[in-house]
């Protein structure tokens, strides 16, 4: 079992040091987060918490993830990077393709891209992007990214995106894995049909087991059961050996250590506290179950 460290909601000044610490103590990679802004009046309901309130507020930092990845890659040599999740239909795929390819090149191929459709309608409204069609936009954008990442001359004429024959350089050093987020039936179908993996949003073990079984079924239906497929499954319960063993048998590739602020119960923990938390997780979980 491999383990990623979520660095959502973290003080940007701490990110480089925490990436170095994560690499030092044996994490597979670090996960970042994506939001364009926090609205002054939030009406959208956060789907992963009872009551609909998100675990962050207007003061929570959301630095641009590809900028962060490039900085963290320069400070590490083995650590992988992903976004859990990047709100793909909120962004122009030409811009996303260029940013991800550059980060992948500069990191030596250590970048994956976790994508999802988003839940905060206010972000889409501010960008003038239709909220109800975000799923279809996400599906189409995944194909656009893969075209552009070949480095060849490509064109696209789709429902939501269109461009004439063009190429982007630099191309990534290899295929960038796309991990699809979300636990709705449509999100799981998207992961099974279009993704190189699935990334969870924090699931109880029994829910994670159900999702993994459903992903396996959907991938068989799509004729993709023989292709590589990475599943990064954050759990909402404390680490337990039996749970990891059961979920690994169902196809779970990796789990996730909670963001330090949530694990420590502090809005702005100090860097020393965060590093100590990573060390404790590595000693108590990675060395036992990794």
pLDDT reported for residue 162: 97
Nearest-CA neighbor of 188 among 146, 236, 221, 228?
221
Helix (H) or strand (E) holding 115: strand 113-116
Query: Which residues are CB-contacts of 11 (< 8 A; sequence separation ≥ 6)?
Result: 61, 268, 271
Kindly provide the b/e burial profile for residues 152-170, where b requires at least 16 CB atoms within 10 angstroms of the residue's own CB.
eebebeeebeeeeeeebee
Kindly provide the b/e burial profile for residues 238-260, where b requires at least 16 CB atoms within 10 angstroms of the residue's own CB.
ebeeebbebbbebbbbbbbbbbb
Give start and end residues of each alpha helix (H) in 44-131.
65-74, 93-107, 121-127
pLDDT reported for residue 240: 81
Residue 290 has pLDDT above 90, yes or no: no
User: To 5 degrees, how large is the angle CA 178–CA 140–CA 120?
Assistant: 80
Look at 80 and 244; give whichever has higher pLDDT: 80
Please give the average per-residue pLDDT across 86-101, as a whole number.
Answer: 97
| Number of domains making up the chain | 1
Handedness of CA 256, 260, 261, 264 (dihedral sign): positive
Please give the average per-residue pLDDT across 229-258, as a whole number.
Answer: 92
Gap between the Cα atoms of 19 and 213, Å rounded? 32
pLDDT-based confidence at residue 89 (cuts at 50, 70, 90): very high
Per DSSP, 203 falls in state: B
Helix (H) or strand (E) holding 257: strand 254-257
Gap between the Cα atoms of 216 and 210, Å rounded? 10
pLDDT reported for residue 76: 98
Taking only the tens place, the pLDDT of each residue in 106-152 is 999 999 999 999 999 999 999 999 999 999 999 999 999 999 999 99
pLDDT-based confidence at residue 242 (cuts at 50, 70, 90): confident
Percentage of the chain with pLDDT > 90? 92
Handedness of CA 70, 73, 75, 79 (dihedral sign): positive
CATH number at residue 26: 3.20.20.30
pTM over 0.85: yes
pLDDT reported for residue 288: 86
Taking only the tens place, the pLDDT of each residue in 182-233 is 999 999 999 999 999 999 999 999 999 999 999 999 999 999 999 999 999 9
Domain that holds residue 284: 2-289
pLDDT reported for residue 48: 84
pLDDT reported for residue 45: 95
Measured torsion, CA atoms of residues 74, 77, 79, 84, in degrees rounded to the nearest 10: 20
pLDDT-based confidence at residue 171 (cuts at 50, 70, 90): very high
pLDDT reported for residue 122: 98
Q: DSSP 3-state assignment of 63?
A: coil
Are the C-beta atoms of residues 203 and 183 closer than 8 Å to each other? Answer: yes
pLDDT-based confidence at residue 26 (cuts at 50, 70, 90): very high
Q: DSSP 3-state assignment of 139?
A: helix
């Amino acid at each position: 079992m491999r383990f990623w460290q979520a660095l959502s909601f973290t003080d940007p000044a701490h990110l480089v040091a925490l990436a170095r610490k994560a690499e030092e103590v044996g994490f597979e990679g670090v996960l970042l987060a994506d939001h364009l802004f926090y609205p002054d009046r939030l009406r959208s309901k956060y789907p992963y918490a009872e009551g609909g309130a998100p675990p962050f507020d207007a003061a929570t930092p959301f630095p641009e993830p590809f900028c962060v990845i490039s900085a963290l890659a320069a400070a590490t040599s083995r650590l992988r990077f992903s976004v859990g999740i990047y709100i793909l239909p909120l962004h122009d795929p030409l811009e996303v393709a260029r940013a991800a390819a550059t980060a992948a090149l500069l990191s030596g191929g250590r970048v994956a891209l976790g994508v999802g459709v988003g839940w905060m309608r206010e972000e889409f409204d501010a960008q003038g992007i239709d909220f109800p069609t975000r799923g279809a936009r996400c599906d189409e954008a995944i194909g656009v990214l893969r075209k552009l990442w070949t480095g060849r001359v490509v064109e696209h004429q789709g429902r939501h995106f269109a461009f004439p024959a063009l190429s982007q350089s630099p191309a990534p050093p290899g295929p960038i894995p796309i991990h699809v987020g979300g636990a709705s039936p449509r999100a799981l179908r998207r992961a099974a049909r279009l993704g190189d993996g699935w990334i969870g949003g924090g699931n109880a073990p029994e829910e994670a087991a159900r999702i993994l079984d459903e992903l396996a079924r959907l991938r068989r239906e799509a004729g993709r059961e023989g292709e590589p497929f990475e599943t990064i499954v954050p759990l909402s319960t404390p680490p337990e050996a039996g749970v990891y063993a059961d979920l690994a048998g169902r196809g779970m590739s990796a789990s996730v250590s909670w963001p330090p602020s949530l694990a420590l119960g502090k809005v702005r923990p100090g860097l020393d506290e965060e590093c100590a938390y990573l060390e404790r997780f590595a000693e108590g979980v990675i060395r036992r179950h990794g």
